[in-house]
């Protein structure tokens, strides 16, 4: 009985696919990067309220483009992986 349990345990450990784990880790990293892009948007808006200058709108535009690219890369990775 115990031998059967250990055989099943060894078989299940050997059947773990490293690429499946890598895919999940890549998606988690991209999700974390998306959170970072959202934080960048928030920080840029806070900075614009404090500092008035010439770079206000271009910086906000770059931040929104960055967020859009982060979302696009995450969705593309979900589809491809």
Query: Does pTM surpass 0.85?
Result: no
- DSSP three-state, residue 42: helix
CA 75 to CA 81: how far, in whole Å? 10
30 vs 24: CA distance, rounded Å: 10
Q: Give the Cα separation of 32 and 73 in Å (integer).
A: 12
Q: Per residue of the chain (81 residues), give pLDDT as tens.
A: 567 887 887 787 777 788 888 999 999 999 999 999 999 999 999 999 888 888 888 999 999 999 999 999 999 999 998
The whole-angstrom separation of Cα 66 and Cα 38 is 9
Domain parsing of the chain, residue ranges: 17-80
């Amino acid at each position: 009985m115990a031998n059967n349990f250990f055989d099943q345990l060894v078989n299940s450990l050997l059947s773990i696919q490293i690429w499946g784990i890598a895919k999940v880790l890549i998606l988690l990293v991209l999700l974390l990067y998306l959170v970072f892009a959202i934080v960048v948007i928030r920080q840029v808006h806070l900075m614009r309220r404090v500092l008035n200058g010439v770079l206000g709108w271009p910086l906000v535009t770059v931040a929104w483009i960055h967020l859009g690219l982060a979302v696009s890369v995450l969705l593309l990775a979900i589809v491809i992986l």
